[in-house]
Amino acid sequence: MALTDVGVRNAKPKDKLYRLFDERGMYLEISAAGGKWWRLKYRFGGKEKRLSLGVYPDVGLKEARDRRDAARKLLANGVDPSIERKVQKAATVERSANSFEAVAREWFARQSPGWATTHADKIMGRLEKDVFPWLGGRAIAEIKAPDVLAVLRRVEARGALDTAHRVHQNCGQVFRYAVATGRAERDVSADLRGALPAARHTHFASVTEPREVAGLLRAFDGFQGTFVVQCALRLAPLFFVRPGELRTAEWAQFDLEKAQWRYTVSKTKTEHLVPLATQAVAILRELEALTGQRKYVFPGRDVKKPMSGAAINAALRRMGFDTKTEITGHGFRAMARTILHEQLRFPSEVIEHQLAHKVSDALGTAYNRTRFIDDRVVMMQKWADYLDKLKTGTDVLRIATIS
């Protein structure tokens, strides 16, 4: 007699396992502990076999019968349903291993050890926010150019055109890695060149007029926030390094007696030397009394970690500066580059070396941390003196080009 929903629901456990039979080889197996499993008994190749059809009540009577019928269709076509299930499971595992997200995370794991932490975080953040929710679970070999374009259009639609271009670039890197590892035939994102409008690149907001710089420096001295952040603000224009390099500066990198700061440039992975003006050393001496026993010069709320990447810009906004149109943490580099050349008349190559930019010389050397070092020591002190005079309102004379 065929089973009913009521009969299945009311079936109680007994002292030992027992079975309630339905039709066409299906039965319900009930354990002494009360568990209920759907099974199908069938013969294949002259042998009696059994196939699990699911667990009750997750799989109801109707669904169990549908699964039974599907298995019997396979049998009618000469296919063993238990073998077919193993094949499908293996295919699912392979598909999961070759999904866009799996390949992307594998690519990221291989590449990211050579990147700056902030750069790596941005890339994975873009993938997790803008790509994985729509493409992550799909087999990378099955993804087509229109699928990727839909992802890019979604980013573009929220007004983040530059991010859309970066997502396009990152997807291309993942696809090329998939091609190299035999999991995709080609980089389909290459078909989307020109599909997005060109991004308008703007420079970081910066102050380059001496009068405006003077007001900025005076605001730093009057900053009402923490002493650590105030010191970072006062040192930012003196060092004009990248914001991430400033906030992650470590005391072990400084030699205050020699007035030097040596660290590895985050962008180029080259060693860099920052000569310290006497004003910079004085600020560091003050700060050393507070954080000198810590790893980081500018520790965050968790003193084992550096100051937040948003701290400088947050402090600038707190003082009333617009970080989109007036000044940003990265803007001190443009400030120094402009004024050192136009007002203080220092040669471009000396400034560019102090900015840790790649500057090829006649011998083809891309960057040399000690090149122009004597000139750079002079320049950094002249720069600090110039900023002091701006801040106090003293007339600032143009300094002749160094010989």
Q: Which residues are catalytic?
A: 242, 267, 330, 333, 357, 367
> CB of 323 within 8 A of CB of 317?
yes
> CB of 401 within 8 A of CB of 347?
yes
> CB of 254 within 8 A of CB of 260?
yes
Q: Read off the amino acid at residue 313.
A: N
- Residue labelled with tokens 């004009």: 240
Structural element, H or E, at residue 135: helix 132-135
Measured distance CA(383)–CA(318) in Å, rounded: 26
**DSSP code, position 234:** H
Burial class (CB in 10 A: 0-12, 13-18, 19+), 125: exposed
> CB of 399 within 8 A of CB of 345?
yes
The string of DSSP letters for 285-335 reads HHHHHHHTTSSBSSB-SSTTSBPPTTHHHHHHHHTT--TTTT--TTHHHHH
End-to-end CA gap in the chain: 106
**DSSP code, position 36:** E
Structural element, H or E, at residue 261: strand 260-264
Beta bridge partner(s), residue 18: 30
> CB of 203 within 8 A of CB of 334?
yes
Question: How many C-beta atoms surround the C-beta of residue 342 within 10 A?
Answer: 12
Measured distance CA(161)–CA(153) in Å, rounded: 9
Q: Cα 351 to the chain's mean position, in Å? A: 31
Cis, peptide link before residue 57, omega less than 30° from 0: yes
Measured distance CA(46)–CA(343) in Å, rounded: 95
- Residue labelled with tokens 């859309």: 164
